[in-house]
């Protein structure tokens, strides 16, 4: 390729983008002399070779196979290799890639055998094997030499379970495993048992968008020693699946959105279990047990009881969404005092499947939540005056308080001078009170009308008598 040999004169060149062309292997010899090169983008070409760089991006090429020849020294400085979205069906490695930290072979035509070809990548920390044709029982023995591996991505495959040889001791540094839409089994028991046995140090596990609807989990059969983040969002689960969460004492974040679950809530860390069928009461000591919780969303379930005042102990809490449940009682004053990091507070029912029945006056110290950006207390039975319109509370619109009949004050179009507290007439319903007010108004109208009518009649009679008297007076004094 003419002209490219002059690139070697650019002794300080570190980044070169040649993507989206039709270059082939012949250009590689021209790039070999660019010793300072750290990043090279050759995506969208027709390469079938290698080049001496620290980061190699060869996505969207037409590579049929990749071979790293034995003794190859030109790749000794290679740190990142991205060969995603090609047509690779074979990967043969050698010690030439021993310093590689990150490799992506995602979206290629590989199979389970790829794992045995990765043994020489002893420095590898991140491995991407998304959508490469992994299926059925996957033997991870080929990964045993990857002692420094920290992240493993196997999304969009069809894995049934993991197996290994007797001598396999597990990837002790692996802390993140992603299997988003990557599991082809309906029974989570065997799968989870094999996963945590082979990857004992996992802290982050993504099992979202899968199906475990035939799971029968034996209590205490799965041990989560170090797991902190479990994502099962959009994963089909049955009722017994809730048992798997009981022994996770290390968990900080759990996402079970739209899983079709029902059952009771177990004390967890950072929770996202909206749009399910959980029921029961929120543990009263939840704030004491989870003092570092940041995010708590149990909306669109069937929880009942009151809001625990122990939420006020969670000073780091940023988002609290308890909407669309069957909660009752008032908003704890301690919540307004202690949750000074709160940015989102949603306690409404939104006329969806649940109905909160929160009642009582709003906490006087609600204005202390100076970081609050979103407030929704609508569709409840709260009464009294809305919080003083200072700081961010001056920005909240009428929608934040709508549906609370006896709530008054700005931004509602209802003056507190005209609102009677429901506590003054505890036996009357809102509807009766409105009817009573209408009845009193009609009484006043009728009384006023009658008095006015009588006064008018008296005036007419008086005027008539006066006119007659004047008439006869005039007649009597005529000459």
Q: What is the 3-state secondary structure (H, E, C) of the chain?
A: CCCHHHHHHCCCCCEEECCCCCCCHHHHHHHCCCCCCCEEECCCCCCCCCCCCCEEECCCCCCCCEECCCCCCCCCCCCEEECCCCCCCCEECCHHHCCCCEEECCCCCCCHHHHHHCCCCCCCCEEECCCCCCEEEEEHHHHCCCCCCCEEECCCCEEEEEECCCCCCCCCCCCEEECCCCECCCCHHHHHHHHHHHCCCCCEEECCCCEECCCCCCCCCCCCCCCCEEECCCCEECHHHHHHHCCCCCCCEEECCCCCCEEECCCCCEEECCCCEEEEECCCCHHHHCCCCCEEECCCCEEEECCCHHHHHCCCCCEEECCCCEEEECCCHHHHHHCCCCCEEECCCCCCCCCCEEEEECCHHHHHCCCCCEEECCCCEEEEECCCCCHHHHHCCHHHCCCCCEEECCCCCCCHHHCCCHHHCCCCCHHHHHHHHHHHHHHHHHHHHHHHHHHHHHHHHHHHHHHHHHHHHHHHCCC
* Residue 96 pLDDT: 62
How many angstroms separate the CA atoms of 285 and 199, rounded? 33
Average pLDDT over residues 461-476: 73
Q: What integer pLDDT is reported at residue 382 of this predicted model?
A: 86
The answer to whether 72 and 50 are in contact (CB under 8 A) is yes
| pLDDT of the residue at 287 | 84
- pLDDT for 51: 41
Ranked by mean pLDDT, the top range of 40-54, 168-182, 412-426, 456-470 is 168-182
- Split at pLDDT 50, 70, 90, the class of 266 is very low
CA angle, 376 then 379 then 385, to 5°: 70
C-alpha angle 338-343-347 in degrees, rounded to nearest 5: 80
User: Does the structure show a pLDDT above 70 at 23?
Assistant: yes
Give every strand in the sheet of 326-329, ordered side by side. Answer: 262-264, 277-281, 302-305, 326-329, 357-361, 381-385, 406-408
Per-residue pLDDT band for 354 (boundaries 50, 70, 90) equals very low
The pLDDT of residue 124 is above 90: yes
Query: Is it the case that residue 375 has pLDDT exceeding 90?
Result: yes
pTM over 0.75: no
Question: What confidence tier does 458 reach under pLDDT thresholds 50, 70, 90?
Answer: confident
> Mean pLDDT: which of 272-286, 376-390, 424-438 is highest?
376-390
Highest-scoring range by mean pLDDT, 49-63, 161-175, 249-263: 161-175
Average confidence (pLDDT) over 298-316? 89
C-alpha torsion sign, points 31, 32, 35, 37: positive
Options 3.40.50.720, 3.40.50.300, 3.80.10.10, 1.20.1270.360; CATH of 105-113+125-425: 3.80.10.10
Buried residues in 3-25 as b, exposed as e (16+ CB within 10 A): ebeebeeeeeeeebeebeeebee
pLDDT of residue 91: 78
Look at residues 95, 212, 211, 106 and name the one whose alpha carbon lies nearest to residue 151.
Answer: 106
Q: Are 332 and 303 in contact (CB under 8 A)?
A: no
Q: How far apart are CA 98 and CA 470, in angstroms?
A: 128
Average pLDDT over residues 278-302: 84
Tokens of 204: 């982050």
Bigger pLDDT: 372 vs 242: 372
CATH topology of domain 1-104+114-124: 3.80.10
Proportion of the chain above pLDDT 70, given as a percent = 68
- Do residues 233 and 257 make contact, with C-beta atoms less than 8 angstroms apart? yes
69/131: higher pLDDT = 131
**Per-residue confidence (pLDDT) for residue 430, from 0 to 100:** 44
Please report where in the chains the tokens 């204005």 appear, as a residue: 367
Which pLDDT value is given to residue 175?
94
Q: What is the pLDDT of residues 134-177, one digit of tens each?
A: 999 998 888 888 999 999 999 999 998 888 876 677 788 999 99
Q: Is the pLDDT of residue 421 over 60?
A: no
Residue 129 is predicted with a pLDDT of 96
CB 198 within 8 A of CB 168: yes
Give pLDDT, residue 422.
54
Place of tokens 């047509």: 87
């Amino acid at each position: 390729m003419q002209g490219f040999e002059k690139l070697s004169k650019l002794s300080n060149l570190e980044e070169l983008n040649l993507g989206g062309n039709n270059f082939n292997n012949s250009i590689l010899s021209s790039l070999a002399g660019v010793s300072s090169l750290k990043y090279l983008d050759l995506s969208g070409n027709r390469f079938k070779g290698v080049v001496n760089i620290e980061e190699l991006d060869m996505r969207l090429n037409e590579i049929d196979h990749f071979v790293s020849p034995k003794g190859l020294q030109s790749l000794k400085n290679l740190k990142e290799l991205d060969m995603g979205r090609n047509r690779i069906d074979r990967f043969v490695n050698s010690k030439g890639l021993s310093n590689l930290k990150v490799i992506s072979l995602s979206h290629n035509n590989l199979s389970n055998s790829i794992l045995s070809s990765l043994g020489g990548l002893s420095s590898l920390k991140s491995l991407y094997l998304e959508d490469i044709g992994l299926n059925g029982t996957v033997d991870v023995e080929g990964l045993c030499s990857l002692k420094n591996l920290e992240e493993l991505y196997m999304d969009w495959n069809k894995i049934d379970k993991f197996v290994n040889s007797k001598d396999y001791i597990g990837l002790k540094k692996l802390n993140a495993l992603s299997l988003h839409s990557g599991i082809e089994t309906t029974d989570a028991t065997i799968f989870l048992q094999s996963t945590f046995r082979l990857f004992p140090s996992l802290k982050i596990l993504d099992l979202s968008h899968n199906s475990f609807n035939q799971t029968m989990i034996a209590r205490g059969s799965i041990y989560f020693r170090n797991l902190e983040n479990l994502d099962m969002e959009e994963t089909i689960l049955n009722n017994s699946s809730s048992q798997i969460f009981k022994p996770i004492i290390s968990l900080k974040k759990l996402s079970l959105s739209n899983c079709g679950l029902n059952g009771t809530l177990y004390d967890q860390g950072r929770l996202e279990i909206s749009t399910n069928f959980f029921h029961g009461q929120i543990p009263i000591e939840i704030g004491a047990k989870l003092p570092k919780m940041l995010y708590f969303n149990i909306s669109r379930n069937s929880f009942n009881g009151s809001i625990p005042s122990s939420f006020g102990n969670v000073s780091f809490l940023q988002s609290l969404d308890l909407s669309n449940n069957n909660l009752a009682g008032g908003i704890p004053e301690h919540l307004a005092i202690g949750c000074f990091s709160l940015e989102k507070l949603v306690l409404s029912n939104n006329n969806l499947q649940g109905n909160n029945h929160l009642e009582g006056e709003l906490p006087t110290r609600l204005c202390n939540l100076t970081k609050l950006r979103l407030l929704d207390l609508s569709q409840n039975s709260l009464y009294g005056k809305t919080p003083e319109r200072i700081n961010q509370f001056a920005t909240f619109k009428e929608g934040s308080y709508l549906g609370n009949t006896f709530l008054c004050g700005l931004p509602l179009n209802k003056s507190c001078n005209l609102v009677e507290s429901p506590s003054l007439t505890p036996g009357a319903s809102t509807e009766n009170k409105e009817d009573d007010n209408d009845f009193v108004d009609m009484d006043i109208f009728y009384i006023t009308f009658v008095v006015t009518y009588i006064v008018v009649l008296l005036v007419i009679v008086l005027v008539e008598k006066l006119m007659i008297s004047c008439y006869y007076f005039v007649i009597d004094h005529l000459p």
